[in-house]
Amino acid sequence: MAAVAYAAWLAIGAFGRPYNFFDMKIYHGAVVWWASGNELYDFIAPSTTLGFTYPPFAGLVMLPMSWLPVEAAGWLNALASIGALAVVLAALLRPIVDRLGWPLWFTVGIATPMAVAMEPARETLGYGQVNLLLFALIMADLVGLRWRARRGTHHDTADSALARFLYSGAWAGAGIGLATAVKLTPALFIGYLMITRQWRAAVTAIGTTVGVTLGTIALVGTEFQTYFSSVLWQTERVGAADMTPNQSLAGLLARLYDSIETPGLLWLAFAVLMLALGLSRAAAARADGDELTAFTLVGLTANVISPISWSHHLVWVIPAIIVLADAAVRRRDASRGLPPRVTTAAGGVPGVTALRPPIWYPALTGLRHAIAAIGLYLLFVISPIWPYEHQLPEVSHYQDGLFGALMENSLAISLIVLVAALPWRPGAEPAFYHDRLARAGLLTGRR
């Protein structure tokens, strides 16, 4: 584990950028300004044109930071984010390592520094962003949905009412609701829950968002009105669409057109297409018993269709890599158990010949998924967008030719490919698969 952590540290030094909690300084300055009696959205960070861009509930959550020095707040956020990432990885990897017989926490101890070395995680930590914490909130609901689907296996034997409630998964949806109140893009998960008819979780998510919003209005109604009437629509507060770190579809189109602005109608048409594709594939993944891939597809789709998706927002590539790696292992293991082929013997009598797959077949089965997982990981560790970073009107996005344009847009292109082609693993999460079969009447023999 120490060797992996050291290698991750070297990768961050080689491929990362200088980090000084830049975004955390804006958040910290804004809440200090607010705590001093000023209007939250009037704050502009010194030597910049940047201010607080999150909804007012996020300001309330961050308000205790005003009691700390900015460096302490940045390091506290980094430690909390790494801890949240480790817990999420434990939840995502547990079904896989249990099947393979690997030790869970040793695997998590290797996976966590590997994930931290990737562009979204290291940028989140280095800039003092909250993406990994929001990621953890949403993934907590995945765990809650798992426990709900397995109801009767854990919580009935729990010692306390709190433990029974926890293992019941009745709270699933609350994490998505809180994440939506902090940042609007997680609302797409509510749409996914409704499309897949997970009504209880959807109602819980909506109720949490509405409840938190009403509480925010009661506490800071002026900031709430300011945000939704003006701040939300001031796109210049976050930056130009064509900026290199904006790896959304909108950023991709702006750079391809070599324009500061995104071509609106073209973006809208492709965004609707990607939305339909992502949600339909997520629903199909869940129907086949793979809720992890379903959540991953929804998160990737949100990254693609959002007008601004900075590279530190792209945390959903982490579970995408897990899905691809597990798909490779599953296909390899399945190929080892392929039966002999049935042939016809002389005289028309059925017979069996020794036509098992060649000895090298299991090693090659799933190879494309393994290559995709490794390639995706290396892409997000190396992050080739930065050597080809350009900014209009000073420098054209085609300054380094077509190859340079491809590299500058490489993360955005990978997201679009993942939404269109990320495989799911039928029956990978039996709790969801059995729940589907039970509702269809297949487990009880009914048709």
Give the residue with greater pLDDT, 346 vs 392.
392
pLDDT of residue 444: 47
* CA dist., res. 53 & res. 68, Å (int): 21
pLDDT per residue over 199-214, tens digit each?
Answer: 999 999 999 999 999 9
Q: What percent of the chain lies above the pLDDT cut of 90?
A: 66
Does residue 60 carry a pLDDT above 90? yes
Average pLDDT in the 103-126 region?
Answer: 95
Which among 299, 262, 251, 261 has a CA at the least distance from the CA of 408? 251
Band (156; pLDDT cuts 50, 70, 90):
low
Residue 114 reports pLDDT greater than 50: yes
Q: What is the pLDDT of residue 169?
A: 81
Among residues 15, 10, 19, 8, the alpha carbon closest in space to that of 387 is found at 15
pLDDT digits (tens, 9 = 90+) for 268-322: 999 999 999 999 999 999 999 999 999 999 999 999 999 999 999 999 999 999 9
For the segment 239-271, what is each residue's pLDDT rounded down to a tens digit? 789 999 999 999 999 999 999 999 999 999 999
Q: Regarding predicted confidence, which is higher, 380 or 443?
A: 380
Contact (Cβ atoms closer than 8 angstroms) between residue 334 and residue 308? no
User: Half-sphere exposure of 255 toward its Cβ, with a 13 Å CA cutoff?
Assistant: 32
pLDDT at position 445 is 45
Average pLDDT estimate for 41-53 = 86
Q: How does residue 446 score in pLDDT terms, banded at 50, 70 and 90?
A: very low
* Structural element, H or E, at residue 75: helix 70-100
Rg of the Cα trace of the chain?
24
pLDDT at residue 433, rounded to an integer = 56
Residue 219 Cα distances to 114, 182, 223, angstroms: 41, 16, 9
Minimum mean pLDDT among 121-130, 159-168, 221-230, 401-410: which range? 159-168
- Over range 36-50, report the average pLDDT: 87
| Whether the predicted pLDDT of 389 surpasses 50 | yes
Show the tokens assigned to 435: 């729940």
pLDDT at 447: 37
Tell me which range, 154-163, 335-344, 393-402, is most confidently predicted by mean pLDDT. Answer: 393-402
Q: Name the residue with tokens 């050597």.
A: 387
| Parallel, antiparallel or unpaired: strands 342-344 and 350-352 | antiparallel
C-alpha–C-alpha distance, residues 411 and 356, integer Å: 41
- How far apart CA 33 and CA 15 sit, in angstroms, is 35
pLDDT of res. 197 = 93
Q: What is the mean pLDDT of the chain?
A: 87
- pLDDT over 70, % of the chain: 86
**Is pLDDT of 419 > 80?**
yes
CA dist list (Å): 228 to 65, 102, 184, 202, 370: 24, 49, 11, 23, 45
User: Is the entire prediction scored with pTM above 0.85?
Assistant: yes
116 CB-side CA count, 13 A = 26
pLDDT at residue 348, as a whole number? 53
For residues 382 and 340, the answer to whether their CB atoms sit within 8 Å is no
Q: Which amino acid is at 41?
A: Y
